[in-house]
Structure formats: structure tokens, C-alpha cells
Amino acid sequence: MESNRFDLVVIGAGIAGLTAAALATAESRKVALVSIGVGSLAQESCTMGPRQLEALPAEDDLDRAIGFFQEMCASAGCAFDGDRAQVCQLPTLMGSLQPAVLASRTVLNSALRAEQPTLIAGIGGLSGFDAQFLAEQLNRAAHTLDATPVFSATRIALPIALGIPVTAVRMAQAFDRDAAFRELFAASLHSAAKGFARVLLPGVLGLYSTDAQLAEFERMAGCQLGELPTLPPSIPGLRLYNRLIEHLRAQGIEFFAGYPVNQLEIADGVCTSVSIASPGRSHRLRAGAVILASSVGCRALLKGELDVDQYQRPINAQHVPVAHNLFAGCTDGKPGAHARTPAGRILAGYCAAANVCARKEEYAAR
Amino acid sequence: MRPDSFELDNCLKCSVCNAACPVYAVHPGYPGPKHLGPELERLRLEGIATDTQWLEYCLGCHRCDLACPHQVGVSEMIARAKAHHPKPFTRALRDWWFARPGLLGKLTTIVPFVSNFFLRLKPVRWIMSKSMHITPKRRFPAYTRPTLRSSTNNRAERVLFFPGCFLTYNRPDLGRKVLELLERNGVAAELVSTGCCGVPAQANGEESLARDQAARHLAAMDEKLQSGMSVLTACASCGYQLKSGFGGLLAEDAKLASAAQRLAAQSYDLAEFLLERADKGKLDSAVHPIGRRVAYHAPCHSNAQGIGHPWMQLLRQIPGLKVEEVDAGCCGMSGTYGFKQEKYDVSMRVGQGIIDRLHILQPEQVATECATCQMQIEHGTGLPTVHPLEILLEAYNGEAI
């Protein structure tokens, strides 16, 4: 019978860990994903600007990694749209425009479009999203880019108890669970959006909603919808996380959430197991290979700064890999450099998993 | 979860706990774990009165703890504050009983058929709802004579089995199936019959009762624990309590605290134990195929044990059995919570996610290792719901149970 043995154990369920776990699963490996809580996606929605991508090495790998990530998102029902060659301007909550190339579909939908009248809709009771302020600031920002000011502001009221105070999280939860809420919401948008092809909203469109559900909601509202992520947690980021976790678990990944890894067992240059600090006693996972995809976790487990060799394996002071089957999914290939951007993390996770899979016989669990 | 004194400072107020909270999602008045936990904890530590009725609405599902990226023990803070929350007399009376399922079991099983008969009568349920705020919309599980006994045969390997209240007073037949499953794998089980694990006591605000219960269990088990015996549970909540509850309750007594640590280190969920035997090649793998579609729901207290989904792994080994995971959050029952009149609606709204998902999956049977999750799923969907060990045993025996 099957048990706690895995071909690959991935530590960290941020964007790097998710990418690594997905690639190994796609290559038919038995994968365990270990994480303390929600990864980086709770704080950011993974939007990528052109400079992030330019700063990264390994052109071919980067294209493959981004392509793989987009495919994974599409099959998880949380499309991650965009094209590296096409730079657009995304509005932020502070009323600035940021260049971006890749983002979640609803986030990318908010991009500045010349000559397209766009309505920014605040929601009654929801603080931290001032539509009037945003419209003024964005029109000014558009003007400095020599674009026509296209933004107008409105505020919609939802005749439904959303809690006190109304938060983006609560709205997203109501969006997920309550069909009556979605209908009221869509109807308010429908009447507010007359004369506009597109409405920009604070990011509240569900923590679990799929592309199909969002498309249906747009149809009900009668306009295209763009989301601006609000203060953390980022609802579009959490949605991406939740959809990807659900997708990966459906693919057979074993997911250990909530407790940190407290030990890597390394003997004779091979990492044989990963111990999770679960209640009572450590839960030991036997590992064919291990990817460290958490920069905090990496430092704690390896007790020091991280340098890697050309296969992304952490190395010691003598430049020898700590273990032959231990990879860092949190550095973007350059020794000592942590992957600081979403694109860098996707690349790091992808390359680490590709290295594991390339050494199939060597690392497959016995 | 990091049990150190700095954990309050680890809270960055990111609200990920709120996003994970099933009650926050369905009740517009509920202020959420971030507020009831770390935010108010700062004031509580300063001795400022912050009591609020919402403390009672926490399900104790630990989803906030597991979601927190900074390992703040949010639900523990809420549970501690809950213990000091005053209640009106009738609700206090109800919660006094709910904190003592063992006592309730002992009394109702003196003449079980009479108790069951009365508990099902509409007027009795009406009186209970009016006098004690127990919802008439649910049925109490049937009580039966506590006939569960230790294994009598002489297997080489012996373990302790902690049955908990439900297996003792409601389903001794299920308890016997646990023993049968173990015997089949060369293990004899010795019953720990010192009563309730203490989860209901803590959930109903009786910390000192839970502390007494913990001390009693340790007194009964410690000698055997020191000889290296493992303790098994087939109930997710008992299991979580043995692994993580006693240490905190008994922290002030060094001797008991070290015994609690020993117990925690030697406690296993039944599936976890079986899976570990599989690792050593000691699990009987001669199972018969079962042609059936089953949906598996992982109870919150199983998730909180940080052991993955061992029952799911075991069920997947049965040929012919198509197992899908429900994966739709908390069921909302949370032990006695769902029986409380003022919380019944919240309980059902929380459970709606699972009910909707099961309507889509349309399984022939649902499996979950928590007795009250079973009640909620049957109540909400009408689908036959069993403990996964019953399916495993069925596969061993090659016949319907």
C-alpha cells in the first residue's frame, strides 16, 4: 500500500512552490506540498510588469515557465492573461498607472484603454476604495501619458447586510456563497454601467470563483469588469491561490497545510526525509527529492544565507551541494539572489522542478 | 501555530484568518477571528474588559490557525476568552450538559430505549427548545448500552484505544469494527475507558472540567505510555485533543505536562497508524473490490492534526472504489454547536458549501471520520454517511456491512 513516500516534497505554497508542484505532477511524480498558511499570493495578486521579466536571466526557460504557469492557471479556472510583448497600464488603488504585461484576467481587464469610457464603481460601506479620488487621479495619470481621460466615478449601494464594517473579504465570501447577492450586485452594476462598456471595481469577485462563473457574472452585469486589488489580503491573489490548490489536489497532490517543516534529514549528501512540526510529534515524509520554495523556510532550515549551483542546489562554504536531491525554488538562478518578483518565483519554481524531473531515475523514491 | 509569547506580535493584521473563517463568511455580525483573537487579546492582556457574545460563535475549526502565514494561534486566544464569557441561566444549563457528553451518555444508557423514545418525541423536543435552547430541528443520535470491551485475543502487538463518548454510548458497534480492523492486522487493542476527551467541555467554556478530564486520562494511561504503547483514536476531535489539547491545559503542573507531551507524541489517528504499518510492510493488503462512488469529507480536526488525509490514502487503495474529496470547507456542526438553537442557522449556512458540493458529486455514500460531521451531512443531504473504517473493513471482509 501507498504511504508517506513521495517522489518530490515541495516546501512552500507560494507562487514558486505551486509552479514546482504542478510541473512535477504533470510529469507524473507523486508530490507532497507543505506550507504554513497562505503563501505570497495573500499579499499580492501576482501581477507582472515588463521590468520584472527583463531583470531575469534564461530567456528560453522564462518563456517556458511563464507559458506553463499560464496553462496551469487556465486549467485551474483562474486565467492568467497577457502577452510579454504587449505592455499595458494598470490602475492601482492609489490612482497611479503601472506598466504590466501579465496578470489575472479580471485584473488585466482594468488596463487603460484609449477612447473607451470606463466607470469606476465604489461600493457603499466599503472603505479604502474611493472611486471619485481614483477617477481624478487616473485621468491625471492618463493625461501625462498623452492618453485621453476616460474615467468616471460612481458609487453603488447594495441593499443587503454585509456586516460591519464591510470588508473586501466579506464581500468576496458573499459573492462565493450567495446567489441572491450576486444577482443584486449584478443588477446594481447593470443600471450604473449604462453608457459604459467597462466597470472597474475593488477586488471583491469571490475567493473561489472560476473564470466561467466570472464570465457569467459579467453577462448578468452587462459589461466587462476589471478588478483593482485592495489592501491585503488581495482577493484576486487569494482566488488564484485557492483555485490552484484545489486544482493541484484534484490532480493528486497531497497537501500538508498549517505547520512548518522543522527538519530536513540529510545523510551522505542525500536528503531522505522532511519532518513537519505537526501537533504531538513530527510527521515525517520520505522524499525522493526536495524543493525549498520558501525563502524564510530556506534560511531557517539551511541555517544561513543561500548560494546555489547551476542546478539550483544549495551549496555549502566549500561550494559542494548540501544534498544532491535538494533544490532551491526560491532563488532566480543567480547565486545568492532570492527571487523577489512573481516572475522570478515562477521561474525559480519551474526550473527547480524541471531539474528534479530531469534526474528521474536518480531521485525517484524507491 | 507557534506557542510562544511573541505570537501576538506576529499578527500583521493581514486578514487571511478572516478569509478562512467559515462563520465570518456566513454571519454579517460576526467580527471574525482577527478581531476576536489577536486584536482583542492585546486589550485582554492589559486587563481591559472586552467580553462579547461573538466569542461563543467560534466553531473551533482551527481553519484560521492553519491559514495564518505567521503561525499565530488565533483560535486558542478565542477559546481562552470564551471560557470567561458569562451566559444567561438557561443557556448555561444547556452548556453544562453539553460539556458533559459522558455523563449524558451514562444517564441515557441506563435504559437506552426509553431515553431514545423520549428524545425523539416532538413535545419533549419542544420543551427542550423552550427551556434549554436546544434546536428541535435536529435529532439526538440514538444511545445504546456501553458494550465496548478490550480485545480478548492475544496478539503480539498491543495498543491503547481511546474510543471517546460517541463510540462508547452511541456506536459501540463501530468501536468493535475498530478492534476487528486492528486484529486483522495483528494488533490487540486495550480500551481506555476514562471518559470524555474534553473537547466538548472546552467548547462550552468549561476549562477546569477539561483539565480534570485530561489529568484523569493521563493517570490511567501514563504507565502504559512509558512502556511505549501507542494510543489510537477513531474520532478526529478526540485525536486532536490528545495530540495538542492536554499540554496547554496542564502546563502549570510539570509532571502532568511531561505526561501530556508523552501522550501527544504517542497518539495516532487510526488511519495514520495503519498507514505507518503500511510503511513497514505490516498492513494486510488483501482487500476485495467495492464498486461504489464515495465522497470523502476531511473533518476540521483531522486537518488540524497536520497529517494530510490518511483515510483518503487508505480508501484509494480499495479496487473499484471511486473516491472523490468533498473539499468544501467546514460542515458547521462542530460537536454541540449545531444543536444550539441560536446557532442552528449559522451551522446550516456554514454547511451549505458541503451540501451544494455533494449535490453536484452525487455519491452513493459519504465517508468522514467525525461523528458530528456525519450527523450534519446526513441532516443536510440525506445521503448515507459512514466512518471510512467501515468501508475499509467491508473491503477486507468482501461483503456489505
| Residue of A169, A277, A281 with shortest CB distance to B265 | A281
Residue A360 confidence class, pLDDT cut points 50, 70, 90: low
Chain position carrying cell 466569542: B55
Residue A38: predicted pLDDT: 84
CA distances from A335 to A58, A132, B24 (A): 14, 47, 44
Residue pair B321/B395 in contact (Cβ under 8 Å)? The answer is: yes
Instruction: Pick the most confident of A84-93, A327-336, B359-368.
Output: B359-368
* B238: enclosing H helix or E strand: helix B236-240
Residue A55: predicted pLDDT: 82
Residue A366: predicted pLDDT: 36
What single string gives the DSSP state of each residue in B279-326? HTT-S--------EEEEE---HHHHTTTS--HHHHHHTTSTTEEEEE-
Give the chain B residue whose CA is nearest to the CA of A166.
B28
Q: Across the interface, do B29 and A163 touch by the CB < 8 Å criterion?
A: yes
Give the chain B residue whose CA is nearest to the CA of A35.
B69
Return residues 239-298 of A near B (CB < 8 Å).
246, 249, 254-260, 276-281, 283
CATH superfamily for domain A5-74+242-357: FAD/NAD(P)-binding domain (3.50.50.60)
Query: From CA A263, how far away is CA B362, in angstroms rounded?
Result: 42
Residue B399 confidence class, pLDDT cut points 50, 70, 90: low
pLDDT of A365 over the 50 cut:
no
For B289, the grid coordinates are 473490490
Residue pair B289/B320 in contact (Cβ under 8 Å)? The answer is: yes
What single string gives the DSSP state of each residue in B226-263? HTT--EEESSHHHHHIIIIIHHHHTTTSHHHHHHHHHH
Which is more confidently placed, B20 or A59? B20
| Residue of B16, B265, B316 with shortest CB distance to A37 | B16
| Residue of B243, B283, B314 with shortest CB distance to A280 | B243
Over the stretch B48-94, which tens digit does the pLDDT of each residue have?
988 899 999 999 999 999 999 888 999 999 998 988 888 888 888 88
Residue A334: predicted pLDDT: 59
Q: Which of A34, A38, A166, A253 would you mutate first to test chain B, the one with the most B CBs within 10 A?
A: A38
CATH number of B284-397: 3.40.50
pLDDT of A162 over the 80 cut:
no
What single string gives the DSSP state of each residue in A7-22? EEEEE--SHHHHHHHH
CA atoms within 13 A on the CB side of B157: 15
Residue B225: predicted pLDDT: 94
Residue B153 confidence class, pLDDT cut points 50, 70, 90: confident
pLDDT of A303 over the 80 cut:
no
Whether residue A128 lies within 8 A of chain B, CB to CB, comes out as no
Chain mean pLDDT for chain B: 91
Whether residue B28 lies within 8 A of chain A, CB to CB, comes out as yes
Whether residue B19 lies within 8 A of chain A, CB to CB, comes out as yes
Residue pair B288/B321 in contact (Cβ under 8 Å)? The answer is: no
The percent of residues above 90 in pLDDT, for chain A, comes to: 61
List b or e across A100-130, with b for residues whose CB sees 16 or more CB atoms inside 10 angstroms: bbbbbbbbbbbbbbeeeebbbbbbebbeebb
Query: From CA A347, how far away is CA A345, in angstroms rounded?
Result: 5
pLDDT of A115 over the 90 cut:
no
Q: Across the interface, do A38 and B67 touch by the CB < 8 Å criterion?
A: yes
- B-chain residues near A172 (CB < 8 A): 19
CA distances from B382 to A160, A194, B226, B235, B356 (A): 31, 46, 45, 22, 13
| Residue of B14, B26, B285 with shortest CB distance to A177 | B26
Q: Across the interface, do B306 and A279 touch by the CB < 8 Å criterion?
A: yes
CA atoms within 13 A on the CB side of B118: 8
- A-chain residues near B352 (CB < 8 A): 177
- Indicate the SS3 state at residue A270: strand
Residue A309 confidence class, pLDDT cut points 50, 70, 90: confident
The whole-angstrom distance between B268's CA and the closest CA on chain A is 9
- B-chain residues near A281 (CB < 8 A): 264-266
Query: From CA A156, how far away is CA A190, in angstroms rounded?
Result: 10
**Residue type (1 letter), A322:** V
Which is more confidently placed, B122 or A68? A68
Give the chain A residue whose CA is nearest to the CA of B271.
A3
Chain mean pLDDT for chain A: 88
Residue pair B234/B168 in contact (Cβ under 8 Å)? The answer is: no
Q: Across the interface, do A260 and B71 touch by the CB < 8 Å criterion?
A: yes
- A-chain residues near B303 (CB < 8 A): 257-258
Q: Which of B23, B66, B346 would you mutate first to test chain A, the one with the most A CBs within 10 A?
A: B66
pLDDT of A364 over the 70 cut:
no
- A-chain residues near B66 (CB < 8 A): 37, 257-258
CA atoms within 13 A on the CB side of B50: 21
Residue pair A56/A343 in contact (Cβ under 8 Å)? The answer is: yes
Return residues 258-317 of B near A (CB < 8 Å).
264-267, 275-276, 278-279, 283, 285, 303-309, 313-314, 316-317
Q: Which of A15, A170, A273 would you mutate first to test chain B, the one with the most B CBs within 10 A?
A: A170
Ranking A219-228, A311-320, B318-327 by mean pLDDT, the lowest is A311-320
pLDDT of A246 over the 90 cut:
yes
Q: Across the interface, do B67 and A37 touch by the CB < 8 Å criterion?
A: yes
The percent of residues above 70 in pLDDT, for chain A, comes to: 94
Residue B3 confidence class, pLDDT cut points 50, 70, 90: very low
For A208, the grid coordinates are 473561489
Q: Across the interface, do A281 and B352 touch by the CB < 8 Å criterion?
A: no
The whole-angstrom distance between B336's CA and the closest CA on chain A is 24
Query: From CA B14, how far away is CA B12, in angstroms rounded?
Result: 5
Residue pair A132/A138 in contact (Cβ under 8 Å)? The answer is: no
Which is more confidently placed, A366 or B379? B379
What single string gives the DSSP state of each residue in A152-171? EEEEE---S---SSB-HHHH
Whether residue B30 lies within 8 A of chain A, CB to CB, comes out as yes
Residue B5: predicted pLDDT: 55
Q: Which of B199, B191, B248 is nearest to B61 (CA)?
A: B199
Q: Across the interface, do B16 and A246 touch by the CB < 8 Å criterion?
A: no
Q: Across the interface, do B65 and A258 touch by the CB < 8 Å criterion?
A: yes
Cα B139 vs. chain centroid, distance in angstroms?
Answer: 19
**Preceding peptide of A314 cis, ω within 30°:** no
Residue A329: predicted pLDDT: 85
* A193 secondary structure, DSSP code: T
| Residue of B18, B303, B325 with shortest CB distance to A169 | B18
Q: What ipTM was predicted for this assembly?
A: 0.90
Residue B1 confidence class, pLDDT cut points 50, 70, 90: very low
Residue A125: predicted pLDDT: 86
pLDDT of A335 over the 90 cut:
no
pLDDT of A304 over the 80 cut:
no
Establish, for the pair of chains A and B, how many residue pairs have beta carbons separated by less than 8 Å: 129
Query: From CA B297, how far away is CA B366, in angstroms rounded?
Result: 7
Q: Which residues contact A201 (CB under 8 A, 6 or more apart)?
A: A121, A123, A189, A225, A226, A227, A228
Whether residue B18 lies within 8 A of chain A, CB to CB, comes out as yes
Whether residue A180 lies within 8 A of chain B, CB to CB, comes out as no
Query: From CA B131, how far away is CA B146, in angstroms rounded?
Result: 29
Which is more confidently placed, A108 or A60? A108
Residue pair B27/B57 in contact (Cβ under 8 Å)? The answer is: yes
pLDDT of B154 over the 80 cut:
no
| Residue of B29, B65, B69 with shortest CB distance to A38 | B69
Residue B36: predicted pLDDT: 96
* A308 secondary structure, DSSP code: B
Whether residue B29 lies within 8 A of chain A, CB to CB, comes out as yes
Query: From CA B323, how far away is CA B388, in angstroms rounded?
Result: 11
Q: Which of B197, B235, B177 is nearest to B368 (CA)?
A: B235
Residue pair B147/B172 in contact (Cβ under 8 Å)? The answer is: yes
Backbone angles phi, psi at B162, to 5 degrees: -100, 100
- A-chain residues near B68 (CB < 8 A): 36-37
pLDDT of A67 over the 90 cut:
yes
Range list of H helices, chain A: 15-26, 50-54, 59-75, 105-108, 131-144, 168-177, 179-192, 211-221, 235-250, 295-302, 342-358, 360-363
- A-chain residues near B1 (CB < 8 A): 258-259
* B270: enclosing H helix or E strand: helix B270-279
Residue A305: predicted pLDDT: 63
Residue pair B331/B297 in contact (Cβ under 8 Å)? The answer is: yes
| Residue of B67, B265, B279 with shortest CB distance to A4 | B279
For A126, the grid coordinates are 466599503
Residue pair B59/B334 in contact (Cβ under 8 Å)? The answer is: yes
Residue A295 confidence class, pLDDT cut points 50, 70, 90: confident
pLDDT of A33 over the 60 cut:
yes
Q: Which of A257, A202, A274, A211 is nearest to A234 (CA)?
A: A202
pLDDT of A1 over the 50 cut:
no
Residue A297: predicted pLDDT: 74
Residue B367: predicted pLDDT: 97
For B15, the grid coordinates are 486578514
Residue B168: predicted pLDDT: 92
**Mean pLDDT for the stretch of residues A27-56:** 88
pLDDT of B401 over the 80 cut:
no
Ranking A228-237, B93-102, B144-153 by mean pLDDT, the lowest is B144-153
Task: Enumerate the domain spans of chain B.
Answer: 3-82, 284-397
pLDDT of B6 over the 70 cut:
no
| Residue of A1, A177, A260 with shortest CB distance to B352 | A177
The whole-angstrom distance between B264's CA and the closest CA on chain A is 4
Residue B114 confidence class, pLDDT cut points 50, 70, 90: confident
Query: From CA A254, how far away is CA A5, in angstroms rounded?
Result: 11
The whole-angstrom distance between B69's CA and the closest CA on chain A is 4
Residue A187: predicted pLDDT: 94
Return residues 65-84 of B near A (CB < 8 Å).
65-71
Q: Which of A1, A239, A242 would you mutate first to test chain B, the one with the most B CBs within 10 A?
A: A1
Q: Which residues contact B183 (CB under 8 A, 6 or more apart)?
A: B151, B153, B155, B189
Residue B18: predicted pLDDT: 95
Return residues 324-343 of B near A (CB < 8 Å).
325, 327
All CATH 3.50.50.60 domain ranges in chain A, comma separated: 5-74+242-357
Query: From CA B384, how far away is CA B367, in angstroms rounded?
Result: 9
Q: Which of B393, B381, B398, B263 is nearest to B326 (CA)?
A: B381
